[in-house]
Chain A
Amino acid sequence: MPSITFIHPDGRQQQIEAGDGESAMQAATRNDVSGILAECGGNAMCATCHVYVAEEWLARLPAMSDDEDALLDGAAAERRPSSRLSCQIKLAVDLDGLVLNLPDRQL
């Protein structure tokens, strides 16, 4: 059961327990993390589950697909090198402790 932390734009931290195999987006919506909208339900089509991955974790995530890359260009908040779609981050024990920063908006 990996535990992950979301950091809101105001600095507030929210730590949640994710189920094995769940995506970071699923864990967030299940735990009512307000900064994740996930309009498309995790189908990599809406870019409203945008997060900034904490520096130290970035290299430990699997590379993104072309779809994710293209979608991130259309994200509402500024795209940064650490930008990812949380629905495409599958959580497993090796990501225990993952820290994700929430953008100021998803729309």
Chain B
Amino acid sequence: MSATSPTDPATSAKAVSAGVPSLDVDPFSAEFFEDPHRIHEVLREAGPVVWLNKWVVFGIARYTEVHAVLNDPITFCSSRGVGLSDFAKEKPWRPQSIILEADPPAHTRTRAVLAQVLSPTAMKGVREHFTATAAAKVDELLARGSFDAVADLAEAYPLSVFPDAMGLKQEGRENLLPYASLVFNAFGPPNQLRQEAIERSAPHQAYVAAQCQRENLAPGGFGACVHARADAGDITAEEAPLLVRSLLSAGLDTTVNGIGAAVYCLARFPDQLARLRSDPTLARNAFEEAIRFESPVQTFFRTTTREVELAGHHIGEGEKVLMFLGAANRDPRRWENPDRYDVTRRTSGHVGFGSGIHMCVGQLLARLEGEVMLAAIARKVGKIEITGPVKRRYNNTLRGLESLPITMSPA
């Protein structure tokens, strides 16, 4: 990998005029997925703003710039897509999200609805059930001893609580993870991962579209709560299914990779498992720190709505800017010992859930799942050992594992 190179003259003209270093790294390649940290460092140290030749976009990998761009949604908009594809030039692969891919004032209204559906008050209603289910899952896994922490824990636990909490039917739930994987691959560039995901998407899209309809959502679930807001007049009857779709797209695979990240951390860093066991009230922070440390959602894009100066560099209107959340979360300018997983760290301010008006609207649900699972582990598990080859799963946006064989022994 060469750090800089002047390739395509037309595109590098933009890099030259912005005065930013131009890099050849591909953040959507197998090489990157296997070890993003080394390339993150190259990106961060090259400058506050870089140019990525391979995909003809600006990139930012330092905390200050990522945080600033996330918090200036008027200049760095989402309505032209938060993936590489620019909706001003290209038709979105599915009808555009009315929350994630929207700007104020439209975003403000839809956001208020989901923020209420997933509010702290709503969490109190599901907490007890989520806690009991996590404890039962850990008991079951301890009885088995050896298992795959991805399929049997990181996927199994959210699958045992989230679809029910949404109010989904039993049939067809096997479509949920493939659909989410598709959605997160589709934010990436037109590489093989994206193309293949879209080619195979028809059945998953059909399933999700149907489950977003009111008649398929059980009363009392988050899905029905969204539809109830249409009755109240806060959104239209056409908007309700699209907001349910946002929850189905972003609410499952993210927590799978979040919980997977946390278990992988505890398996690799036994001193941190010991610390957590000595004080199970650290569970919630141990999960939060895993989100900072692994950043299950690695990247999102914004599009400039005007010419703008960013860290002294000139960026024109209509440019895509790629934000490296994972790199910002390990920027040594912001974090002490960034490459250390520390369950006692003050994690406030990390951008693993984003920041600003689009900051994850499901963060409380994600934290609830992570906390109760890690609290169950803290109380019941004595030791976690990795017993076989750890395999990474490749996705253009999500960072996580395909397989993590472990043995868990009781406390």
Contact = CB atoms under 8 A, between A and B. Distances in A.
Contacts of B288: 39
Interface string A38-54: 11110101110000000
Contacts of B353: 40
Interface in B309-368: 346, 348-350, 353, 355-357, 359, 361, 363-364, 367
A43 B361 CA distance: 11
B116 A46 contact: no
Interface centre among A40, A41, A67 (most CB of B within 10 A): A41
Interface in A42-94: 43, 45-47, 67, 70-71, 73-75
Nearest to A41: B349
A40 B353 CA distance: 8
Given A45-B115, A107-B284, A38 B348 contact: yes
B88 interface: no
A5 to B, nearest CB: 21
Nearest to B354: A43
- A-side binding surface: helix, strand, loop or mixed? loop
A43 B120 contact: no
A18 interface: no
B359 A37 contact: no
A29 B348 contact: yes
Interface residues of A, number: 18
Q: Is the interface of B mostly helix, strand, loop or mixed?
A: helix
B100 to A, nearest CB: 15
Contacts of B119: 70-71, 74
B192 interface: no
B30 to A, nearest CB: 32
Given A47-B120, A70-B116, A32 B363 contact: no
B356 A74 contact: no
Contacts of A70: 116, 119
A46 B364 contact: yes
Given A70-B116, A73-B121, A43 B359 contact: yes
B124 A74 contact: yes
A87 to B, nearest CB: 10
Nearest to B71: A43
B323 to A, nearest CB: 15
A41 B116 contact: no
A46 B122 CA distance: 12
B120 A46 contact: yes
A8 to B, nearest CB: 17
Contacts of A32: 346
A10 B124 CA distance: 27
A74 B121 contact: yes
A41 B124 CA distance: 21
B295 to A, nearest CB: 15
Interface string B378-410: 000000000000000000000000000000000
Contacts of A73: 120-121
A37 B356 contact: no
B359 A45 contact: yes
B349 A29 contact: yes
Contacts of A40: 353, 359, 363
B132 interface: no
B139 to A, nearest CB: 24
Contact of B348 (A41, A45, A47, A74): A41
A26 to B, nearest CB: 9
B355 A39 contact: no
B123 interface: yes
Ranked 8 nearest A-B pairs via Cβ: A74-B120, A74-B121, A38-B348, A43-B359, A41-B349, A47-B120, A29-B348, A41-B348
Given A40-B359, A43-B355, 14 more contacts: A29-B346, A29-B349, A37-B348, A39-B288, A39-B348, A39-B363, A41-B348, A41-B355, A45-B115, A46-B364, A47-B120, A70-B119, A74-B121, A74-B123
5 contacts: A38-B348, A39-B367, A43-B357, A67-B115, A74-B124
